[in-house]
Amino acid sequence: MQLFVRRYGTLIGFVAILVFFSAVLPGTFPTARNWLNITQQVSMLMVVAAGMTIVMVMGDFDLSVGSAASLAGIVAALMMAAGQPIWAAVAVALLVGLLGGAFNGAMVSLVGILPFIATLATMTMFSGLAFVVSGGKTISGRAIPEDFGNFARGGIPLGEWGGVAISLPNLSIIAIVVVLAVWVLLEQTTYGRRLYAIGGNMEAAHLSGIAVKRLRLIAFSLTGLAAAAGGLMYASRVASANPVQGSGLMLNAIAAVFLGTTMSRHGEPRILATVVGVIVLGVLDNGLTQMSVDSYVRQVLVGALILLAVAASSVTQGRR
Amino acid sequence: MAPSVPLLSATSVTKAYAGVPALSGASLVVAPGEIHALMGENGAGKSTLIKILAGVVAADTAEITVNGERVSIDSTKAAYRLGLRFIHQEFNVVPTLSVAENIFMGRRYPRRAGLLVDWAELNREAQRALDRLGIDHIDPSQNLGALSLGDQMLVRISAALLDDAKLYVMDEPTAALTRDESERLFRVLREIRASGSSVLYVSHRLDEIMALCDKATVLRDGRSIDSGALTNITHDDLVALMIGRKVEEAYPKATAKPRETTVFAASRLATVGLNPVSFSLREGEVLGIAGLSGSGQAELIRSIFGDAKVTAGTMTLSGAPYTPSTPAAAWQSRVAYVPRERRAEGLVMRRPIFENITLAHLKRQSRAGTWLTPNREKRFAAELGANMRLKAVGPAQDVLELSGGNQQKVVFAKAVAGNPRLLLLEEPTRGVDVGAKYDIYSIVRELTAKGAAVILVSSDLPELIGISDRIAVMRQGEITTIVDAAGLREDDLINLCYGRATGMVA
User: Starting from the edge strand earliest in sequence, which strands make up the sheet with B69-71, in order?
Assistant: B20-30, B8-17, B61-66, B69-71
Residue A120 maps to a domain: yes
B400 and B322, same domain (yes or no):
no
- Which amino acid belongs to residue B382? A
At B8 the pLDDT is 92
Across all residues in chain B, what is the average pLDDT? 88
Q: Could you tell me the pLDDT band of residue B504, with boundaries at 50, 70 and 90?
A: very low
Q: How far is A188 from chain B (nearest CA, A)?
A: 5
B206 Ramachandran zone, left/alpha/beta (phi>0; psi -120 to 50): alpha
Give the one of A190, A206, A266 whose C-beta lies nearest to B327's C-beta. A206
Contact B12, B63 (CB under 8 A): yes
- A200/B350 touch (CB, cutoff 8 Å), yes or no: yes
Residue A3 maps to a domain: no
- A197/B359 touch (CB, cutoff 8 Å), yes or no: yes
- A200/B349 touch (CB, cutoff 8 Å), yes or no: yes
Question: Where in the sequence is the domain holding B265, given as residue range(s)?
Answer: 259-334+421-506
**How many angstroms separate the CA atoms of A222 and A199, rounded?**
17
| End position of a domain, from candidates B374, B398, B418 | B418
B72 and B157, same domain (yes or no):
yes
Contact B6, B31 (CB under 8 A): yes
Tell me what the mean pLDDT of segment A19-40 comes to: 93
**CB interface of B with A, residues 295-324, below 8 Å:** 305, 307
Nearest to A271 by CA among A57, A26, A18, A19: A57
B282 and B320, same domain (yes or no):
yes
CB pairs under 8 A between A and B: 76
Write b or e for each residue in B367-377: b if 16 or more Cβ atoms lie within 10 A of its Cβ, otherwise e.
eeeeebebeeb
Contacts of B355 in chain A (CB under 8 A): 193, 196-197
| End position of a domain, from candidates B360, B393, B418 | B418
Residue B161 maps to a domain: yes
At B226 the pLDDT is 81
| The pLDDT of residue B441 is above 50 | yes
**How many angstroms separate the CA atoms of B135 and B327, rounded?**
38
B413 and B426, same domain (yes or no):
no
Residue B249 maps to a domain: no
Give the one of B328, B345, B355 whose C-beta lies nearest to A203's C-beta. B345
Count CB atoms within 10 A of the CB of residue B27: 18
Contacts of B327 in chain A (CB under 8 A): 206-209
| The pLDDT of residue A37 is above 60 | yes
Residue A33 maps to a domain: yes
The partner residues of B367 in beta bridges, in order of sequence, read: B371
User: Starting from the edge strand earliest in sequence, which strands make up the sheet with B335-338, in order?
Assistant: B335-338, B422-426, B453-457, B286-290, B470-475, B478-484
At B20 the pLDDT is 72
Residue B341 maps to a domain: no
Q: What is the CATH number of the domain that holds A133?
A: 1.10.3470
Residue A295 maps to a domain: yes
Structure confidence by residue, pLDDT tens digits, B239-270? 888 877 666 667 888 777 888 899 999 999 99
| The pLDDT of residue A213 is above 80 | yes
Residue A175 maps to a domain: yes
Residue A1 maps to a domain: no
Nearest to A7 by CA among A274, A318, A316: A316
ipTM value for the complex? 0.91
The partner residues of B168 in beta bridges, in order of sequence, read: B85, B199
Nearest to A219 by CA among A66, A65, A54: A54
Q: What is the CATH number of the domain that holds B124?
A: 3.40.50.300
Number of domains in chain A: 1
Q: How far is A202 from chain B (nearest CA, A)?
A: 8
Q: Could you tell me the pLDDT band of residue B498, with boundaries at 50, 70 and 90?
A: confident
Contacts of A206 in chain B (CB under 8 A): 307, 327
Number of domains in chain B: 3
Q: Are strands B422-426 and B453-457 parallel, antiparallel or unpaired?
A: parallel
Contact A289, A311 (CB under 8 A): no
Report yes or no: B340 at the A interface, CB cutoff 8 Å.
no
- A207/B337 touch (CB, cutoff 8 Å), yes or no: yes
B325 and B352, same domain (yes or no):
no
**How many angstroms separate the CA atoms of A285 and A298, rounded?**
7
Residue B407 to residues A206, B202, B411, Cα–Cα distance (Å)? 19, 20, 7
Q: How far is B285 from chain A (nearest CA, A)?
A: 24
Residue A89 maps to a domain: yes
B233 and B322, same domain (yes or no):
no
**How many angstroms separate the CA atoms of A228 and A5, rounded?**
36
Contact B256, B282 (CB under 8 A): no
At B3 the pLDDT is 56
Q: How far is A196 from chain B (nearest CA, A)?
A: 9
Question: Where in the sequence is the domain holding A276, given as residue range(s)?
Answer: 16-315
Structure confidence by residue, pLDDT tens digits, B124-156? 988 988 888 778 888 998 888 888 777 887 888
Kind and range of the H or E run holding B71: strand B69-71
Contacts of B419 (CB under 8 A, 6+ apart): B334, B450
B129 and B183, same domain (yes or no):
yes
Radius of gyration (C-alpha) of chain A in whole angstroms: 20
| The pLDDT of residue A75 is above 90 | yes
Residue-level length of chain B? 506
Portion of chain B with pLDDT greater than 70, in percent: 96
| Chain A residue with minimum CA distance to B363 | A190
B414 and B450, same domain (yes or no):
no
At B480 the pLDDT is 94
Q: 3-state DSSP helix/strand/coil percent for chain A, to nearest 5?
A: 75, 5, 20
Tell me what the mean pLDDT of segment B198-210 comes to: 87
Q: How far is B234 from chain A (nearest CA, A)?
A: 40
Structure confidence by residue, pLDDT tens digits, B403-426? 888 999 999 999 999 999 999 999
Q: Could you tell me the pLDDT band of residue B89, with boundaries at 50, 70 and 90?
A: low
At A317 the pLDDT is 52
**How many angstroms separate the CA atoms of B277 and B298, rounded?**
13
At B500 the pLDDT is 67
Residue A124 maps to a domain: yes
At B323 the pLDDT is 96
| End position of a domain, from candidates B187, B214, B243 | B243
- B359/A189 touch (CB, cutoff 8 Å), yes or no: no
B304 and B447, same domain (yes or no):
yes
Report yes or no: B350 at the A interface, CB cutoff 8 Å.
yes
